Structure 1
Amino acid sequence: MLVGLLTAVAASICYGTGSVLQAVGSRKSARREAATSGVTQHGGPSLSSTAKAAMTWEFIVGTILDFVGFGLGALAARLLPLFLSQTIISANLVITAVLSIRLLGIRLTRAEWTSIGVVCSALILLATAAGPEGSGHTPMATHWWLLAISLLLMVGGTVVVRLLGARAAILAGLLSGLGFGALGVGVRVLDGIDPFDPVALVCDPALYAILIAGTGGMYLHTVALQIGSVNGATAALVVGETVLPGAIGVLWLGDTSRPGFGWLAVAGFVLAVAGAVAVAWFGRSESEEPTPLPLPEREPAGVG
């Protein structure tokens, strides 16, 4: 349990730091693209502008941290109940909010600090209440369903986000969170890990669900950071990657709380999600938005 908790916390730090660095890179790219056709006809970022955002050094470092966080999060999902591992990892919103002070010039209000305190307290409640994780053994049909749902969410969601354009920031964040949540479920049910069996691993549809959900989730998170606030996008991601996987873990994978501590687990789960959303709600700031490029000054009439 202790190893799982430390692994989940480390994953949360990597994800939170990565999100802020990716936001810095996205905004730098947005400023460069402000005077060009870097948007679609619906007002959202074009594929080229998203690709350029991914080529900034800040975004590259943030992505490397995301990959490290992915590995740590995958290990945590195997060691802890999903409602605990995903919630701790989702606390990266707190890391994001704090680092935003330094890297994005955002000042946290008393309400934001209070919300951060609620999240930290909720995580303590969850850690106290968590019992043993379930086995993760599920019928192969469940693995196929996970692949189909991941494909539908990531491909269909990308199409909808691009159609909505600049209005899709929260939706993109939510869909990216659902993608990362599906990734967590896939890691939990994946065959061929223990004991290691490469043939079973490659033949398991859950492996391809992990690849699709992870790739799609990263793309949609990038889009959300380009068109919305970093805290707002991350809060939507928190809800997506916490609520549904936690429910799946309890209902279908056998995750449980300690005997007599079920109420504490529920209270901690609700407080963690509510606190994360509150951080984003109170943290919406104009200073987070990309600064438009200044227009060239015109010479006074009659000069020259």
Structure 2
Amino acid sequence: MIIGLVTAVAASACYGTGSVLQAVGSRKSAQREAAKGASTAGTTQHGGPSLSSTAKAAVTWEFMVGTVLDFVGFALGALAARMLPLFLSQTVISANLVVTALLSIKMLGIRLNKREVMSIGVVCSALVLLATAAGHEGSGEAARSTHWWLLAITVVLMGGGWVAVHFLGSKAAILAGLLSGLGFGAIGVGVRILDGVDPFDLTTLLSDPAFYAIFIAGSVGMYLHTVALQIGSVNGATAALVVGETVLPGIIGVMWLGDASREGLAWMAVLGFLLAVAGAVAVAWFGEPDAHAATPSTAPEQEPTPSTVG
């Protein structure tokens, strides 16, 4: 349990730091394009970032380092998902929102208001409740049909997210964050039920639909998260990701994969889970938009409007 918690916390730190670095890279890329007079060249007709603008953001050194940290976080998170109940591992990993919010103060010039600080405190308190109440994790054994259902649902969600970002444009920030979170949540479920891991069997691994669900959810989820960071508040996008990454996997883990709380502490697990989600949503709700929160000293590099992303 302790090793699993440490692993989940490390994954959270990697994800949180990676999100902020990716946001810095996205904003620097947008500022460079704006300086060239390309105010709309990197946007779609609906106002969202084009694939080319997202690609340009992805080649900044900050974004690349952030992506490496995301991959490290993914590996640590996958390990934690096999060592802890999903409602605990996913919630601890989702606490990267706290890391994101705190690093945003220094790296993005964002000032946290009192309600954001209180909301972050709620998230931290909720994690303590969850860690105290968590019992054993389930076996991860699931019917083969569950693997196929996971793949099908992942394809629908990720494909729908891709289309929504294209047509909703600059209005899709929170939706993109939520769907990227659902994608990362699907990774947690997929890792738990994946065949061919223990003992390792490459043929079994490659024949498991859950393996391809993990690949699709990871790649498209990363793209949607990048878009959310480009067109919306870094804290708001991350908070939406937290909800998607936490709620559904936690429910699936309890109802179908055998995750459980300690005897007599189910109420504490439920309370901690609800407080964690509520606190994450509150950070997004009360958070100041990034463009208005930057300090004057950092404004030239960190205040592009959504219409200048590219």
TM-score using structure 1 length = 0.94
Match of 1:300 in 2: none
Match of 2:162 in 1: 158
- Measured in 1, the distance between the counterparts of 2:187 and 2:97 equals 19
Q: Which runs of 5+ in 1 are unaligned?
A: 293-304
Secondary structure at the residue paired with 2:258?
Answer: coil
Q: Which runs of 5+ in 2 are unaligned?
A: 295-301, 306-310
Match of 1:301 in 2: none
Match of 2:199 in 1: 195
For these two proteins, the number of residue pairs brought into alignment is 293
Task: Select between 37-46 and 150-159 the one with higher mean Cα deviation.
Answer: 150-159
Q: 2:303 aligns with which of 274, 286, 290?
A: 290
Q: 2:45 aligns with which of 41, 45, 48?
A: 41
Match of 1:216 in 2: 220
Does residue 141 of the first structure (1) align with residue 145 of the second (2)? yes
Q: CA deviation at 1:150?
A: 0.7
- Measured in 2, the distance between the counterparts of 1:149 and 1:62 equals 28
Q: CA deviation at 1:182?
A: 0.4
Amino acid of the residue matched to residue 119 of structure 2? S
Q: CA deviation at 1:147?
A: 0.7
Q: How does 1:47-66 map to 2 (within 5 A)?
A: 47-66=51-70
Q: CA deviation at 1:263?
A: 0.3
- Measured in 1, the distance between the counterparts of 2:33 and 2:47 equals 13
Match of 1:20 in 2: 20
- Measured in 2, the distance between the counterparts of 1:10 and 1:160 equals 32
Does residue 236 of the first structure (1) align with residue 236 of the second (2)? no
- Asked if the contact 2:42–2:52 (Cα under 8 Å) also holds between the matched residues in 1, the reply is yes
Secondary structure at the residue paired with 2:26?
Answer: helix
Match of 1:32 in 2: 32
- Asked if the contact 2:11–2:73 (Cα under 8 Å) also holds between the matched residues in 1, the reply is yes
Q: Structure 1, residues 28-85: CA drift from partner, whole Å, max 9, x if none?
A: 1112233321100000001100000000000000000000000000000000000000
Q: CA deviation at 1:287?
A: 2.7
TM-score using structure 2 length = 0.92
Q: CA deviation at 1:201?
A: 0.6
Q: Structure 1, residues 120-146: CA drift from partner, whole Å, max 9, x if none?
A: 110000000001000110011110111
- Measured in 2, the distance between the counterparts of 1:134 and 1:251 equals 10
Q: Structure 1, residues 222-278: CA drift from partner, whole Å, max 9, x if none?
A: 000000000010010000000000000011101000010000000000001111111
Match of 1:76 in 2: 80
- Asked if the contact 1:25–1:58 (Cα under 8 Å) also holds between the matched residues in 2, the reply is yes
- Asked if the contact 2:26–2:57 (Cα under 8 Å) also holds between the matched residues in 1, the reply is yes
- Measured in 1, the distance between the counterparts of 2:194 and 2:303 equals 40
Match of 1:8 in 2: 8
- Measured in 2, the distance between the counterparts of 1:33 and 1:267 equals 46
Give runs of ≥4 in structure 1 deviating > 3 Å: none
Tell me how large the CA RMSD over aligned residues is. Answer: 1.2
Q: Structure 1, residues 146-166: CA drift from partner, whole Å, max 9, x if none?
A: 111111111121011111001
| Sequence identity (%) | 76
Amino acid of the residue matched to residue 91 of structure 1? A
Amino acid of the residue matched to residue 287 of structure 1? A
- Asked if the contact 2:111–2:293 (Cα under 8 Å) also holds between the matched residues in 1, the reply is no
